[in-house]
Chains A and B, each alone.
Chain A
């Protein structure tokens, strides 16, 4: 078991290395010059100075070494559009994305599992089939479109929720703690709901299949032979087994959710990593774009590492013996 954990950690490190190297390759293979943008007081001399400062005049292998060392120190370079170190921009944006993703992950898995249970409990009936249709429908929605529709619906046509931003940009700093908290929550609802709805469908589909795989197994029959009713059989015996693969689903779903969060953040002006990255694209701010990609990947790798470790603990057959 210890060996398995060590292997998993090793895998994570390898992935991180691959991504950072990939980012390095991209930034150097891309056309254009990170310092090539036009500004009135940027003379060629200044550009040359920047290049030297960031090591762009050194040979490639040296630059690679510098790159890795800087990354290890947390130095992602300088954002040309925000005029601050990339690290600072990320420090601002990352917590917001973590909040959004955190809420969405918890909510979507809870709802998804509940929906799957409902589908299986009522399989073959009209209710069960309709639950499946609903899941399939939400699974087929583009995220940015759902975001736009929800925004339209709940912030404009029936204006009960704010149309964007993590907090009320004008008033928030002046609010007392409780209203400030409520303000945050109100702003969180729509983006979190969008992300949740989309992921719930995927989770429900997966969980439903896992449940159906476990249902015909022998021990389910034993449980019935003991006199248990269907609901208890499903919720205690079947679910407990069918949840184990779902733990690894958390790891698999993270990349998808992160991608979805990019669109959700843009539509709702939720100033997280996705929003940051998208804006950086428009401004040709390469260091920021790449930092966004790398940080995103780190989040995913960390998340799936945790999920895989949890899996090792959750299945008794792996835990002992």
Chain B
């Protein structure tokens, strides 16, 4: 079973349409930019270069993306910001994927009353708008360390994954190899771990790719409101905090970080869509049915 899956992924790569490969390239570009930031730019993200003289400069050779209100180089902040934003997004999605998968696998495999109760709990939480919940918690406990922020975002985003996995788990329950394992006396926990979970990974990966984009947007939004990442850490979101107030005159401080976000999110969404089409579209109930809710603000 594992050998098949490995081959499945390798085969999928080759079947990806050109758009998706470009998307993967874009993501790789940003990741590399983030990793090699110190070598790509000679400034530091917090460096205020000449308090008065270099304030709010439009794009030029020395500063391709201009400087912001505090005389910091925008391009540098975008590169370093990529580290923060991408890291937060991937870790948060990892958290929500893990929690959601476990929850959903257990619920789907257990079935009956257990499943019903577990799903009702999810339904209740899904009704609470994610942004509002995060706003409330973050506002009350602000300022929060970055790790806590990641955890919070992750723990508010696992509901859709859980639903998705639960559906798959219920279908898998009837499949021969699961029935066989049961008849051989395997314990439920073992069955869930060894048979159910490996087979729901594909849709979870697809959902994860799409979720990363959403979390990037979410983090940016929260930081924009002042309750996400805090200064002086540079993330794509914090860059909007001060820039937004003066954006009419310093449009580059707003447009360029925005383009970075849009490009990255677009890349993740394209990749996610393509992966979904390739990894057997039939079996993936994780179609945009859930997307509007998955979105940052849901």
- Taking the complex as a whole, does A directly touch B, i.e. does some CB pair lie under 8 Å apart? yes
Q: B290 contacts the other chain (Cβ, under 8 Å)?
A: yes
**Does A266 contact B298, Cβ atoms closer than 8 Å?**
no
**Does B140 contact A289, Cβ atoms closer than 8 Å?**
yes
Residues of B within 8 A of A199 (CB): 292
In the complex formed, the residue of B with least CB distance to A253 is: B292
Bound-state Cα–Cα, A259 to B207, Å: 20
**Does A286 contact B140, Cβ atoms closer than 8 Å?**
yes
Bound-state Cα–Cα, A32 to B141, Å: 9
**Does B136 contact A23, Cβ atoms closer than 8 Å?**
yes
Residues of B within 8 A of A26 (CB): 136-137, 140
| 4 further contact pairs, Cβ within 8 A, besides A258-B129, A292-B132 | A202-B292, A256-B129, A256-B292, A266-B225
**Does A281 contact B127, Cβ atoms closer than 8 Å?**
no
In the complex formed, the residue of B with least CB distance to A278 is: B225
Q: B269 contacts the other chain (Cβ, under 8 Å)?
A: yes
> A129 CB to closest chain B CB, in angstroms?
9
8 A Cβ contacts from B212-271 to A: 213, 217, 220-221, 224-227, 240, 244, 247-248, 251, 254-255, 258, 261-262, 265-266, 269-270
Q: B131 contacts the other chain (Cβ, under 8 Å)?
A: yes
Residues of A within 8 A of B248 (CB): 152, 156
Bound-state Cα–Cα, A249 to B288, Å: 10
Stretch at the interface among A81-89, A166-174, A179-187, A203-211: A203-211
**Does B126 contact A14, Cβ atoms closer than 8 Å?**
no
Bound-state Cα–Cα, A149 to B255, Å: 8
> B24 CB to closest chain A CB, in angstroms?
15
Q: B280 contacts the other chain (Cβ, under 8 Å)?
A: no
Q: A140-B265, A297-B129 are in contact. Are A253 and B123 (CB under 8 A)?
A: no
**Does A152 contact B140, Cβ atoms closer than 8 Å?**
no
Contact partner of A256 among B124, B254, B295, CB < 8 A? Answer: B295
What is the size category of the interface that chain B forms with chain A?
Answer: 35 or more
8 A Cβ contacts from B120-136 to A: 120, 123-133, 135-136
> A209 CB to closest chain B CB, in angstroms?
5
> A64 CB to closest chain B CB, in angstroms?
18
Q: A15-B124, A142-B261 are in contact. Are A252 and B221 (CB under 8 A)?
A: no
> B158 CB to closest chain A CB, in angstroms?
15
Could you tell me which A residues sit within 8 Å of B by CB distance?
Answer: 11, 14-15, 18-19, 22-23, 26-27, 30-32, 136-137, 139-145, 148-149, 152, 156, 199, 202-203, 205-206, 208-209, 245, 249, 252-260, 262-263, 266-267, 277-278, 280-282, 284, 286, 289-290, 292-293, 296-297, 300-301, 304
Residues of A within 8 A of B125 (CB): 18
Residues of A within 8 A of B287 (CB): 206, 209
Bound-state Cα–Cα, A258 to B226, Å: 19
> B211 CB to closest chain A CB, in angstroms?
13
Question: Secondary structure at chain A's binding surface: helix, strand, loop or mixed?
Answer: helix
**Does B141 contact A31, Cβ atoms closer than 8 Å?**
yes
Residues of B within 8 A of A15 (CB): 123-124, 127-128
**Does B291 contact A205, Cβ atoms closer than 8 Å?**
yes
> B40 CB to closest chain A CB, in angstroms?
24
Q: A148-B244, A259-B297 are in contact. Are A293 and B288 (CB under 8 A)?
A: no
**Does B288 contact A255, Cβ atoms closer than 8 Å?**
no
**Does A256 contact B297, Cβ atoms closer than 8 Å?**
yes
> B217 CB to closest chain A CB, in angstroms?
4
**Does B129 contact A255, Cβ atoms closer than 8 Å?**
yes
Bound-state Cα–Cα, A249 to B291, Å: 10
In the complex formed, the residue of B with least CB distance to A31 is: B141
Q: B289 contacts the other chain (Cβ, under 8 Å)?
A: yes
> A51 CB to closest chain B CB, in angstroms?
18
Contact partner of A259 among B123, B130, B136, CB < 8 A? Answer: B130
